[in-house]
């Protein structure tokens, strides 16, 4: 609660520093036609909306499909072998190589989904009973489920205003049993990797980057998924590049790659990987079948070649929105560890309180601009099935510390995360937005923003 009060105080202090009065009058930093926007009657109050029709963000990803993917898929049909192995030119292998080359990592392994990529990475990292894995309190279920289904114990760290794991909330959660930290790069913004890596190295803990919501993102010049010990990605329908379902595991470590390779394919090593990558250190072990099929590989091979274009357009659009509102008094954008590396899929504002955020969203929607709070993730410790620790077997994992103490989740374990998620509101960008669409977003934000001070 104190956090919530502090954020409200912060917001008002920021606004009064630049002059709330001038803001309400639509003057001050805003000028000319922009000031007029600030004074126009809001659509929520019966005024004319900025747009006649709704500028929507789709619930699914860009799907930049064209002849490229079509041709690749037809070649698979013609080959009459949609299985990834037993080929001289497997599409899955070509995709893996193209993706690894694109992001600059030694090894990429294609799998059936982001979720199975997480299971595969957990197996490679040898996460098992008693091991603790630190996750952000706001991310997707799969991060939690992957740990639990290995028999490990998820430990949640609060997020910060970047919507990713707060590096300052990690170290005190480390115990002798902590084996990995899983920073998720959420809604297009890379997590702040430097301090996370520093803590992990100090305590000899592995780092697995979850890049499912940030494909193509970079942190200080490096693509996400190449920075920690391992990375995973998802190519599910709502992701930057997509084949409907699909995933990948990435690493620069040959032994981790061989473990992942074996785990995803009934422990086999097949051509072109018959030679052990770990120098014969590894033997077979209980594993799965998460192999990607050739149709999926064909689509993804085409999609990788478009990743730069998609991210380039998103970044451009998001930058124009940010620049168009930069002079708004007291404006606080979502924090980022690297603005240039952000893929620009969202522009979020920290509105200080949930009440003000909700008003902002309602007002923007009335102007016919789709607006939302953070999405695509869940406040995991507060989720009913996680709070109740429901699993496939009542006694596994035990959710107990070695001293026998029961681990407790629940909303009370992540108050900051709940507060931050409730304060953030903004727009989901689309690479197909036109110059006019982007301008409408700017106009609508400028129009409704002055009114939020009164909320
Ligand atoms: C952060 C994150 N991790 C993992 C996943 C799982 O990916 P998939 O849906 O491909 O299994 C998702 C899916 O949305 C996600 O958002």
Q: Using a 6 Å cutoff on CB, does residue 140 contact ligand 1?
A: yes
Q: What is the separation of C-alpha 375 from the centre of its chain, rounded to a whole number of angstroms?
A: 10
Please report which helix (H) or strand (E) contains residue 426, including its range.
strand 424-428
CA nearest 347: which of 235, 236, 430?
430
Per residue in 310-340, pLDDT (tens digit) is: 999 999 999 999 999 999 999 999 999 899 9
Q: Take residue 68 and report the two structure tokens written for it.
A: 């490229």
- The CATH number linked to 357 is 3.90.1150.10
The HSE-up count of residue 55 (CA atoms within 13 Å, CB side) is 25
* Domain shared by 115 and 261, yes or no: yes
Question: Is there a single domain that holds both residue 298 and residue 311?
Answer: no
| The last residue of a domain, from among 277, 306, 335 | 306
Q: Residue 377 CA: which ligand 1 atom is closest? A: 16
Strands 247-251 and 132-136: unpaired
Helix axes 67-79, 294-304, angle to 10 degrees: 150
**Residue 289 belongs to a domain:** yes
CA 212 → CA 151, 232, 248, 306, distances in Å? 23, 7, 9, 17
Instruction: Pick the more confident residue, 190 or 15.
Output: 190
Ligand 1 atom 10: residue of nearest CA: 114
Q: Are residues 87 and 6 in the same domain?
A: no
Q: What is the pLDDT of residues 219-274, one digit of tens each?
A: 999 999 999 999 999 999 999 999 999 999 999 999 999 999 999 999 999 988 87
Reply yes or no on whether the pLDDT at 48 is more than 70: yes
- Which of 323, 355, 330 minimizes the C-alpha distance to 423? 355
Residues 231 and 349 reside in one and the same domain: no
Same domain, 121 and 182: yes
**Widest CA span of the chain, in angstroms?**
73
49-86, pLDDT tens digit by residue?
A: 999 999 986 767 778 899 999 999 999 999 999 999 98
Query: What torsion do the CA atoms of 97, 99, 103, 106 make, to the nearest 10 degrees?
Result: -30
In a domain, 407, yes or no: no
Structure token pair of residue 350:
């920290």
Q: What is the mean pLDDT of residues 330-352?
A: 95
We report the CATH number of the domain holding residue 181 as 3.40.640.10
Query: 321 and 444: one domain?
Result: yes
Query: In degrees rounded to 5, what are phi and psi of residue 338?
Result: -165, 95
Residue 66 Cα to ligand 1 middle (Å): 25
Look up the pTM and report it.
0.92
* Burial of 240 from C-beta contacts in 10 A (0-12 / 13-18 / 19+): buried
| Mean pLDDT over each residue of the chain, to the nearest integer | 91
Domain total in the chain: 2
pLDDT category of residue 1 using cuts at 50, 70 and 90? very low
Distance 380 CA to ligand 1 centre (A): 14
User: What is the extent of the structural domain holding 256?
Assistant: 67-306
């Amino acid at each position: 609660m104190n956090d919530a009060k502090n954020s409200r105080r912060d917001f008002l202090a920021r606004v009064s520093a630049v002059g709330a009065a001038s803001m309400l009058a639509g003057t001050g930093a805003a000028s000319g036609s922009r000031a007029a926007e600030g004074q126009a009657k809001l659509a929520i109050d019966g005024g004319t909306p900025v747009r006649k029709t709704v500028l929507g963000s789709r619930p699914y990803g860009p799907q930049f499909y064209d002849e490229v993917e079509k041709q690749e898929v037809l070649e698979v049909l013609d080959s009459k072998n949609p299985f990834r192995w037993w080929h001289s030119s497997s599409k899955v292998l070509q995709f893996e190589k193209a993706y690894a080359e694109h992001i600059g990592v030694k090894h990429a392994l294609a799998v059936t989904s982001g979720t199975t990529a997480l299971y595969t990475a957990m197996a490679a990292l040898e996460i098992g009973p008693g091991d603790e894995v630190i996750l952000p309190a706001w991310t997707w279920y799969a991060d939690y489920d992957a740990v639990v289904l290995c028999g490990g114990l998820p430990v949640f760290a609060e997020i910060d205003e970047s919507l990713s794991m707060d590096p300052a909330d990690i170290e005190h959660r480390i115990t002798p049993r902590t084996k990995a930290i899983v920073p998720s790069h959420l809604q297009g913004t890379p997590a702040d990797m430097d301090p996370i890596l520093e803590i992990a190295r100090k305590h000899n803990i592995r780092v697995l980057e979850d890049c499912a919501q940030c494909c193509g993102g970079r942190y200080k010049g490096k693509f996400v998924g190449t920075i920690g010990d391992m990375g995973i990605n998802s190519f599910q329908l709502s992701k930057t590049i997509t084949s409907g379902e699909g995933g990948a595991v990435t690493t620069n470590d040959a032994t981790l790659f061989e473990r992942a390779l074996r785990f995803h394919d009934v422990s086999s090593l097949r051509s072109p990987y018959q030679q052990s990558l770990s120098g014969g250190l590894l033997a077979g072990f209980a594993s799965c079948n998460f192999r990607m099929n050739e149709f999926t590989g064909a689509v993804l091979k085409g999609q990788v070649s478009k990743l730069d274009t998609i991210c380039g357009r998103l970044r451009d659009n998001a930058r124009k929105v940010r620049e168009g509102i930069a002079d708004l008094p007291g404006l606080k954008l979502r924090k980022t560890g690297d603005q240039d590396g952000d893929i620009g899929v969202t522009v979020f504002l920290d509105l200080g309180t949930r009440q003000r955020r909700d008003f902002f969203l309602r007002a923007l929607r009335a102007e016919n601009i789709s607006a939302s709070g953070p999405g695509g993730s869940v406040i995991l410790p507060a989720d009913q099935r996680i709070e109740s620790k429901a699993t496939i077997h009542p006694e596994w994992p035990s959710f107990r510390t070695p001293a026998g103490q029961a681990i407790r989740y629940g909303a009370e374990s992540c108050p900051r995360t709940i507060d931050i998620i409730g304060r953030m509101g903004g727009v989901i960008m689309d690479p197909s937005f036109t110059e006019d669409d982007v301008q409408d977003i700017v106009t609508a934000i400028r129009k409704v923003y002055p009114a939020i001070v009164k909320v």
